[in-house]
Chains A and B, each alone.
Chain A
Amino acid sequence: MNAYDDSTLEAMKNVAYAPGEEKSARFFARDTKILDATSAASAIEILPIAVALEKYTWLRELRYSLVAADQDEYVKQVAQNPDALGYFIRVKAGEKVVLPIYTCYLIDSDHFTQCTHNIVIAEEGSEFHLISGCTSNKHIVSGRHIGITEYFIKENAIVTSTMVHSWGEEVEVFPRSATHIGKNGTFVSNYVALSNVKSVQMNPLAIIEEGGLGEFYSVIYAPEGSSFDIGSTSLLKGEGASTQIISRVVSGGGSVITRGMIVGEEAGGRGSMACNGLLLSEKGMIHAIPELLAKNPQLELSHEASVGMISREELSYLMASGIDEEKAKSLIIEGFLDLHIPSLPDYLQRHINAIVKETKAFDTI
């Protein structure tokens, strides 16, 4: 176990990465240095990406196969950066790992651009839960994090991936991730961002093969001065593929564009989307853009979107019970952001609820 200084430990805590907590595997990187990449389970291989690329020549073929190296200026920057770091995680076929795998990236130098590229492979029939924290140290005035992650979910494998962000007010973040979900595989992505940031822009892609399931959940609180452009795109490529995209967004003065795109190609595909927003301040903005594209008549695609303020009826009901206005609003917001994810194991849902409680920037009761 590495010894970390107090400010690093505090930053880790903001993304629920506790060094002492039980983990099946862990990875921690500060700026361009990987300080920890350890697996406690034989089922899991976790390596710095550079080491993995040396070890496995086949991995070089997979790299940039889901996220094109020239996809945009940010991916190009990572592809051309000799200091780019990252992790390689592989869970062996048929292995079901109960304890989560934790990863954490920390920006510790001011005005630093952290470039990362991760590759995650769930072999046939494997199952595991990944929790990724991305954060900056409290003395950081500005910085930038560009993170590419390519997930390969093989046949019948199940992976949940929870990403928690907690950044400084002037940090810009550009996650670029894509997932290939093999036959009857399941990939559940949860994104939680409840504290300060300058901007986050991402639109992860899931390519879902026959009978596969891809779920995207996002819980975002955008404080004043922050800007989010976040979305998810699901491509229902195989017969009977299905997807769900759910986002809950609260703007406390920040600007949020919340996108969702479902493209159906083969028969029997099902997709649903719900983008719900609460706008608490006139300084904020929420723009919900749900899109459906059907290329086959045998598809069931649907979406709902709502943006509004806190319901006056709900607020006055709570106040009539003796709760003051601020506490009543806080209760409603907490409830709105308390997304229950049916496909998560209970212990993980409780853990994520605890993260939500720990990381939120708005007033608590």
Chain B
Amino acid sequence: MNTTILDITNLHVSVGDKEIISGVDLTIKKGEVHVLFGPNGSGKSTLLCAILKLPGYIITEGSVRVHGTDTAELTTDAIANLGIGMSFQHPPQIKGVTLGRFLETINHGGDLSIPISELAMEAFLERELNVGFSGGELKRAEILKLYAQSPDLLLIDEPESGVDIENIAVISRAINAMLQKGSPMASRERSALIITHTGTILNTIHADIGHVFMDGKIVCSGNPLDIMEDIKRDGFSGCVKCIENRKEIS
């Protein structure tokens, strides 16, 4: 049985005339949680946007396969419906559309009462989508959206940015529940690709594989906690030195 959910091969992505992603290979299997570390502007968010083919992100070379299906000819909604859900870092405000109406539209028939309660979103269902939401509320609404979509792969862009400690705990619990973190790896159905700038989220969400993303490439992969320790100690400049040392050795 093929357990690969996402398979990215030699991906190059441009925004405008500028190449932002320069040859990324990444495979995510069922049940795996990957985390992307990287400095600001390294192209992490661009990678997530390119997977969903959001407007303005042009794939110039390489391929993205979801459950074995090449997404080259697919629209954003069709890619999402292959089983991809994305929590945006900066979701837009949509006036006149309530959170409840939005969830009702995208819900695949699941009962959302528990996640609504656990994410404390009851009071927001009649509010216009993301209009006047605080940082924590935006993140909670985005995670609730993922519950409604129930995708196989969660793309989560900086879940901890602009969020206080209490909200990080609430969001992490909800993400862990979605990822069935209490179950053995082999029985987990969902996978995730999580972007983190600070790595804080690793205190509350267990990731299986970490990648360092710099200048539009994955430059290093390994144990996410080890990578985070290195970054904490030496910063991303430590990664640059490490890469240079490896080049010299080879």
B101 proximity list for chain A (CB < 8 A): 331, 335
Taking CB atoms and an 8 Å cut-off, the chain B residues in 64-114 that contact chain A are: 75-77, 80-81, 85-86, 88, 91-92, 94-97, 101-102, 105-106
**Complex Cα gap A311–B52 (Å):** 18
B182 part of interface (Cβ distance < 8 Å): no
Minimum CB–CB distance for B102 against chain A, Å = 8
Are B105 and A320 in touch, CB under 8 angstroms?
A: no
Are B96 and A319 in touch, CB under 8 angstroms?
A: no
Taking CB atoms and an 8 Å cut-off, the chain A residues in 154-212 that contact chain B are: none
**Complex Cα gap A365–B91 (Å):** 22
**Complex Cα gap A336–B92 (Å):** 14
**Complex Cα gap A365–B101 (Å):** 11
Are B92 and A311 in touch, CB under 8 angstroms?
A: yes
**Complex Cα gap A328–B94 (Å):** 11
Are A331 and B97 in touch, CB under 8 angstroms?
A: yes
Are B86 and A320 in touch, CB under 8 angstroms?
A: yes
A325 part of interface (Cβ distance < 8 Å): yes
Given known pairs A322-B80, A334-B97, A335-B95, the reply for A316 and B149 (CB within 8 Å) is no
Given known pairs A316-B55, A323-B106, the reply for A332 and B77 (CB within 8 Å) is no
Q: Is the interface of B mostly helix, strand, loop or mixed?
A: mixed
Are A324 and B77 in touch, CB under 8 angstroms?
A: yes
Are B85 and A313 in touch, CB under 8 angstroms?
A: no
Interface string of B1-20 (1 = CB under 8 A from A): 00000000000000000000
A316 proximity list for chain B (CB < 8 A): 54-55, 76
Taking CB atoms and an 8 Å cut-off, the chain B residues in 125-177 that contact chain A are: 128, 145, 149
Query: Whose C-beta in chain A lies nearest to the C-beta of B146?
Result: A321
Query: Whose C-beta in chain B lies nearest to the C-beta of A335?
Result: B96
**Complex Cα gap A336–B129 (Å):** 12
Interface centre among A318, A321, A328, A331, by most B CB within 10 Å?
A321
A70 part of interface (Cβ distance < 8 Å): no
The total number of A-B Cβ pairs within 8 Å is: 67
Are A323 and B105 in touch, CB under 8 angstroms?
A: yes
Which of A323, A331, A334, A335 lies in contact with B77, CB distance below 8 A? Answer: A323
A331 proximity list for chain B (CB < 8 A): 97, 101-102, 105
Are A321 and B96 in touch, CB under 8 angstroms?
A: no
Which of A325, A334, A337 lies in contact with B75, CB distance below 8 A? Answer: A325
Are A321 and B55 in touch, CB under 8 angstroms?
A: no
Minimum CB–CB distance for B146 against chain A, Å = 9
Query: Whose C-beta in chain A lies nearest to the C-beta of B151?
Result: A322
Minimum CB–CB distance for A168 against chain B, Å = 29
**Complex Cα gap A319–B101 (Å):** 15
Which of A312, A332, A337 lies in contact with B94, CB distance below 8 A? Answer: A332
A337 proximity list for chain B (CB < 8 A): 96
**Complex Cα gap A335–B130 (Å):** 13
**Complex Cα gap A316–B95 (Å):** 15
A4 part of interface (Cβ distance < 8 Å): no
Are B105 and A319 in touch, CB under 8 angstroms?
A: no
Are B80 and A319 in touch, CB under 8 angstroms?
A: yes
Taking CB atoms and an 8 Å cut-off, the chain A residues in 318-358 that contact chain B are: 318-325, 327-328, 331-332, 334-338
**Complex Cα gap A321–B54 (Å):** 11
**Complex Cα gap A321–B102 (Å):** 10
Taking CB atoms and an 8 Å cut-off, the chain A residues in 252-273 that contact chain B are: none
Minimum CB–CB distance for B88 against chain A, Å = 7
Are B149 and A322 in touch, CB under 8 angstroms?
A: yes
Which of B91, B96, B106, B128 lies in contact with A322, CB distance below 8 A? Answer: B106
Are A325 and B77 in touch, CB under 8 angstroms?
A: yes
Are B80 and A321 in touch, CB under 8 angstroms?
A: yes
Interface string of B196-220 (1 = CB under 8 A from A): 0000000000000000000000000
B96 proximity list for chain A (CB < 8 A): 332, 334-338
**Complex Cα gap A327–B104 (Å):** 13
B94 proximity list for chain A (CB < 8 A): 314, 317-318, 332, 335
Minimum CB–CB distance for B40 against chain A, Å = 21
Interface centre among B76, B88, B91, by most A CB within 10 Å?
B76
Are A319 and B97 in touch, CB under 8 angstroms?
A: no
**Complex Cα gap A328–B97 (Å):** 11
A322 proximity list for chain B (CB < 8 A): 77, 80-81, 85, 106, 149
**Complex Cα gap A328–B92 (Å):** 14
A324 proximity list for chain B (CB < 8 A): 75, 77
A328 proximity list for chain B (CB < 8 A): 77
Binding site for B on A (CB under 8 A): 311-314, 316-325, 327-328, 331-332, 334-338, 365
Q: A314-B94, A320-B54, A320-B88 are in contact. List 14 more A-B contacts (CB 8 A).
A: A312-B55, A313-B92, A316-B55, A316-B76, A317-B91, A319-B76, A319-B77, A324-B75, A324-B77, A332-B94, A332-B97, A334-B97, A336-B96, A338-B96
